[in-house]
Amino acid sequence: MTLPAFFIAHGSPAMAVESNDYTQFLNQLGNRLPAPKAIVVFTAHWDCPEPSVTMDDTHQTLHDFYGFPSNMYTIDYPAPGHSELASEICALFTRSNLPHQPVRGRGLDHGVWVPLLHMYPQANIPVVVVSVDSLRSPQEQYDIGRMLEQLRHDNVLIIGSGGTVHNLRLLGNDEDEPEDWAVEFDDWMEERLEKWNTRELFQYDKKAPNARTAVPSYGTEHLAPLFYAMGTADMSRKAKRLFQSYPYGTLSLNCWQFGDDV
């Protein structure tokens, strides 16, 4: 079974306890996909120079946020790990001469377990987490994703978890209409993603409208997972946006599918 890859905006940690159009979409997405043998997540909340891969067979749930209601800190997402798959990922990186780090004992950050909580609430599918490097170019991020493309043909679901517009300093309130600058940036990305125009996408910071506002210098790690996930579908080069909304007027919640439908 060949599965598409996805870029999924993980939004606020509070999404773990919310019920809205986006959480319902994620639940439906998990239900309509064939059950994967494992899930690989490139997460925005693990940013380090060398790709790091969780080697654990069990995971702890990280509550890597502050200022939220107390019930948020009791949520457990006890998905197992998959050390065999993690070793295969490391072997693929080695084959491409990419320095990397196997890591034990890290756990699942909220960029991983919050969306998975809605997609696979039973937490019964093994998860392997891979870090991103926000200082690499989009081309390099894409190329690292491409190293793992063969995993999709072995019933492995690959997800990039982050956000396209993720400027937390410019959040509005729940009643806000989407800000024009946020929509303009996402629309520019949509046009180039659908055409698989990597030449312009890899220069989004220079070519996209409102790029510095949508993806501030302190938040590039949230866009990076999109390029990693996109790279894993390099052979098919098909992209489709499945969902879009803007809570707080600027926080872009979108989901992109890369690869063929199943």
What number is the average pLDDT over the span 182-211? 98
How far, CA to CA in Å, does 246 sit from each of 118, 137, 145, 174, 200? 19, 27, 27, 9, 24
pLDDT above 70 (res 7): yes
Architecture of domain 5-258 in this structure: 3-Layer(aba) Sandwich (3.40)
Question: Distance (Å, rounded) from C-alpha 238 to C-alpha 245?
Answer: 22
pLDDT above 70 (res 51): yes
Per-residue pLDDT at 171: 75
Q: For residue range 37-48, list pLDDT tens digits in order.
A: 999 999 999 999
pLDDT band at residue 240 under the 50/70/90 scheme: very high
What number is the average pLDDT over the span 111-137? 98
pLDDT above 90 (res 177): no
Q: Which of 243, 226, 232 is nearest to 164 (CA)?
A: 226
Per-residue pLDDT at 176: 63
pLDDT band at residue 259 under the 50/70/90 scheme: very high
pLDDT above 90 (res 149): yes
Q: Which of 52, 4, 1 is nearest to 234 (CA)?
A: 4
Q: 150-164, 169-183, 205-219 — which is least confidently predicted?
A: 169-183
pLDDT band at residue 74 under the 50/70/90 scheme: very high
The pTM score is 0.97
Q: Where are the alpha helices (DSSP H) in the chain?
A: 21-32, 83-95, 110-119, 138-146, 149-152, 180-194, 198-201, 204-207, 211-214, 224-231
What number is the average pLDDT over the span 183-193? 98
